[in-house]
Amino acid sequence: MSFLGYERPDGTAGIRNWVGVISVQDNLNPVTRAICQGIYGTLPITTLFVRGQFGPDLEYAYSTLAGMGRNPNIAAALVVGLEPESTSVVADRIRNSGKPVETVVIQNLGGTIAATADGMRRAKRLVVEASKQRRRELPTDRLIVAVECGGSDTTSGLASNPAIGRVADRIVDEGGTVIISETSEFLGAEDLFAARAATPAVREAFLKRVLDHERDAMTRGVDIRGANPVPDNIRGGLTTIEEKALGAMSKAGTRPLVGVLDYAEWPTRKGLHFMYTPAPAVESMTGKAAGGCQMILFSTGVGNSIGNMVAPTVKVTGNANTARDFADNVDFDVSGILERDQSLTEAGDALYDFAMGVASGTRTASEVLDQRETAISRFQPTI
């Protein structure tokens, strides 16, 4: 199948055509927001901290900020910084994707009013230029689709996750890429997922990531394996951690695992990948969007409203109550699997068609309601 998308100079394909205004550090957020409030067609990509971060933790911050600027949904980037050095770190990394990148450096411009005015003029020009891009018919193999869950309940493992898994299989079969993350959710079934690795190296890399994560949590007093399933899960019917993990894993479909990615790392091949991220949705989606995902399929049982700033997020539920009571924030209802004997294949295929529509321009609830947020994972404290 195909979708209508925007071709970028680096060969990637966007499903949206935004100008991203990117804060290099948290102290730029007010200027970033002011520029975006004044200019239609911009997306504020904000962050907290960065100043005072160092080592690998700082590298994650820069790579995630730049990664979001490189995301194919961004036609051009305006990088907002305090001083020239940190600004150019992020700007240069986006620039080598070939898309237009401009900068606003507050210290050079003499304060926030001048910086906001300068930023607005640049953003206006970038938005007008970007608007000359046209959607073209592009093959599915240009898609990198992220899969995510939040607010899970019994229906997640029975309906919404397997339905998303069906879409994941179709995307991979058509030459596209799917990324699953949320590392802690694999505990209990990590051997089963590792068994799908395409090579021994991928298998070892995956297991190392998951088991290191478990060990790190343990040194901080958190026994993920021992604490799961939690009392709510048990009350809801989940019996073992492996049952819970398999329910979560079912959103990745059944195809082989071909790559293991670090947080915000871009895949270099097509197919199903695992990305190391924390489990909470905003951080997890931020990492995947920074890794190039144009769209996120998000399974929710009891209802989770948040989407990613850069990658349109399709909220899918298999819970008929949620589809009705949380309708404002639900994009696709697969509760027919449980309520009306709709087959998993039918529901998954209908979701696939909807997702391809989103790729071609159909808006999702979180975009229209602006329920979008960014959170870059921290791995060390600031000095």
Partner 1 sequence: MPRAIVLHRDDNVATVIDNGADAHSKCQLRGEQSGDVVLGAPIPYGHKVALKDIAAGGEIKKYGLIIGRATAPIPAGQHVHVHNVESLRGRGDVAAQPR
Binding site residues, partner 1, CB under 8 A: 153-154, 158, 162, 188-189, 192, 223, 225-231, 233-234, 236-237, 239-243, 246-247, 250, 337-338, 341, 343-344
DSSP H helical ranges for 43-160: 55-70, 84-95, 106-109, 112-130, 154-155
Q: Which is nearer to partner 1, 242 or 367 (CB)?
A: 242
The residue assigned the tokens 């709510």 is: 232
When the beta carbons of 200 and 231 are compared against partner 1, the nearer one is: 231
Q: Least separation, in Å, of the C-beta of 156 and partner 1?
A: 11
Give me the least distance between CB of 32 and partner 1, in Å please. 42
Tell me how far, at minimum, the Cβ of 297 lies from partner 1, in Å.
19
Contact 58/81 with Cβ under 8 angstroms?
no
Q: Which is nearer to partner 1, 250 or 308 (CB)?
A: 250
Q: Which is nearer to partner 1, 105 or 248 (CB)?
A: 248
Number of helices followed by number of strands (H, E) in the chain: 17, 16
Give yes or no for a contact between 61 and 383, defined as CB atoms under 8 angstroms apart: no
| Closer residue to partner 1 in complex, CB, 191/328 | 191
Shortest separation between residue 162's beta carbon and partner 1, angstroms: 7
Return d(Cα 203, Cα 228) in angstroms, integer.
24
Asked if the peptide bond before residue 229 counts as cis, ω within 30 degrees of 0, the response is yes
State the amino acid at position 169 in one-letter form.
D
Cβ-based neighbour number of residue 232 at 10 Å: 9
Cβ closer to partner 1: 79 or 337? Answer: 337
Nearest approach in angstroms of CB 70 to partner 1 is 36
Residue 296 C-beta: closest distance to partner 1, Å: 23
Two tokens, residue 251: 């959103």
Between 34 and 197, name the residue whose CB sits nearer to partner 1. 197
As a whole number of angstroms, the distance between CA 302 and CA 151 comes to 5
Q: How far is the CB of 255 from partner 1 (least distance, A)?
A: 15
Contacts of 330 (CB under 8 A, 6+ apart): 300, 303, 315, 316, 317, 322, 323, 365
Q: Using CA atoms, how far apart are residues 351 and 160, in angstroms rounded to an integer? A: 10
The residues, any chain, with a CB within 8 Å of residue 85's CB and separated by 6 or more, are none
